[in-house]
Amino acid sequence: MRREDLTSRSTKVKFLFIAFAVLFLIFNYYPEFSGNSEIQQQTSSKMTKIINVPSPREFDDILNENLKTSKRLFVLVFGSLVLETKQSWCPDCVRAQPLIYDALDKIDDVVLLDCPVIRAEYKGNPEYPYRTHAGLQIKAVPTLIHWTKEGPKERWVEGECERPTLLDELKKASLHD
């Protein structure tokens, strides 16, 4: 075999290996790319059904579909994950998300619509769709909204999502569903 053939074959193998590794990382850390936007969070005996909303243009359809069948619905708008750090670009989101998920897991029959925002599209853009959406009107991330068939009800923004009383507030809000 010629040396050129070996080099070419070796390069192709390396390229394929890297391509598969990148796809593996994307599908494991960004479920919206895998086609599996529903994730069951299993951190307690009660389970929050988490539905990833891949983009703002899909929000209304996913919201309306889940309002038909969900007993308790919450919407979380947060900074998307950064591939290199596997954390949100938003420090408030990094602190608040685990607290929110934990609190919601302690409430029966909860559906959470996870709405990540990409920093480059969101930051400083007053026309970002979640900012201009009639029901969302996002001013900052994270924002957690309790949503009923009548529309958005209670709302927790930034540091409010980290309050020690969050679980009690969420339970109280969801009693009226």
Give me the active site residues, please.
Answer: 90, 93
Tokens 């920093």 identify what position? 119
DSSP codes, 107-157: STTEEEEEEEE-HHHHTT-TT-HHHH-TTT---SSSEEEEEETTEEEEEEE
DSSP codes, 64-102: HHHHHH-SEEEEEEEEPEETTTTEES-HHHHHHHHHHHH
